Chain A
Amino acid sequence: MPRPGTRVFARVIPGRDPVGGSAIVMCNRTHIDLPADLEERVMGTFSAGFTGRHKRGAEGADLPPGQYVTHGFPVLSAGPTPQVPLDAWRLEVAGEQGVVQSWTWDEFRALHAEEVIVDVHCVTRWSKLGTTWTGIPVEALLADVELDGDFVVASSYGGYTTNLPLEDLLDGKAWVAFEYEGEPLDPEHGGPARLLVPHLYFWKSAKWLRGLRLQDDDEPGFWEQLGYHEYGDPWREQRYWGD
């Protein structure tokens, strides 16, 4: 979170005006309030004319703080893309006592699916607005399960895990998605099926989903063990521990 009253002197380096033809020398010092994790960078060297590919709050969109709209769909991966043959694919829900429910691919696809259009926000600052997914609401998967835990660990083929409170998976807030933009979900984007929890940062939307385990304690997952925020609300900019 930005520290109130943070003041940074931006050291602006003489450079060429990318629009005009003559060189401008800018020596004025400016007071800027910045979130803590941008401070260090502002002290760096500005490259005249560089803005990156991002656009802030384009088209009047309501964006969480610190995010930029992207029109691509970056692939970020912590490991090799698992290749899961559909006849071997299983989705399991487990409680403290063990597996209580599981679906084969055919059983999973026979469930009632819905199409949703949501915005997704990645902790690396890109946001993608109006993305279309088809999936099974998580509460439908948990309908016949005794909800005997307040927290969930979502686990993926390939070993990735992430943790969330159970209530963040219910009441129309989460799906297990198998299609993106009307097409089967690509393995590089988490196919055959991934968790989709758009109200939290996108690292919580575990790709290559294989299981949801209900438990009493909040158990940090792959990135939460290493600095990422345990909850991850983009609207409160909860990117890292202590935010």
Chain B
Amino acid sequence: MDTASTYLDGNAAAGPLGDFFGFDITTTIGRCAACRGVMLMAQCRVYSAGPGLVLRCASCDNVLIRLVVTGDRAWLDMTGLACLQIDRTESG
């Protein structure tokens, strides 16, 4: 089985993460806490595991973000993400 075919782009997480943050996180830049690699969140790998969403570093597969959403609660773990850089200017 082709392992590469089980993930989607960070884009696929735009909806659920946007729900949580209140803005589109996919254009933010993140630094992986494991390999220190820097990437656009849109370029990380999204694995959908039912109510849980996992975003992994495209370079080293480290778990950057985990998100679980149910009807009345959501949990977010970002311990794999060292930091996020957000553009505060008005985007077109």
Number of interface residues of A (CB under 8 A): 29
B71 near A226 (CB under 8 angstroms)? Answer: no
B92 at the interface (CB under 8 A from A): no
Q: In which size bucket is the chain B interface?
A: 20 to 34
A79 touches B54 (CB 8 A): yes
Judge if B91 is at the interface, Cβ distance under 8 Å: no
B49, A78: Cβ atoms closer than 8 Å: yes
CB of A76 within 8 A of CB of B50, answer yes
Task: Pick the interface stretch among B25-33, B36-44, B61-69, B82-90.
Answer: B61-69
Contact call A239/B70, Cβ cutoff below 8 A: yes
**Chain B residues closer than 8 Å to A40, beta-carbon distance:** 71-72
- Counting chain B CB atoms within 10 Å of each CB, the highest count among A38, A81, A122 belongs to A81
A188 at interface, CB cutoff 8 A = yes
| Interface of chain A, main secondary structure | loop
| Cβ contact of B56, chosen from A79, A123, A187, A225, cutoff 8 A | A79
The number of A-B residue pairs with CB atoms under 8 Å apart is 70
Contact with A along B1-45 (1 / 0, CB 8 A): 101101100000000000000000000000000000000000000
Contact B50 A81 (CB under 8 A): no
Contact assessment for B6 and A80 in the assembled complex, using a CB-CB cutoff below 8 Å: yes
Q: Is there an interface contact between A81 and B72, defined as CB atoms closer than 8 Å?
A: no
- The CA-CA distance from A76 to B72 in the complex, in Å, is 22
Complex CA–CA separation, A159 to B74 (angstroms): 23
Instruction: Point out the residues of chain B lying under 8 angstroms from A104, CB to CB.
Output: none
Contact with A81, one of B1, B54, B75 (Cβ below 8 angstroms):
B1
Give B80 Cβ to nearest chain A Cβ, in Å: 11
| A226 CA to B61 CA, complexed, in Å | 19
Q: Which residue of A lies closest to B75 (CB)?
A: A227
Which B residues contact A (CB, under 8 angstroms)? 1, 3-4, 6-7, 47-52, 54, 56, 61, 63, 66, 68, 70-75, 77
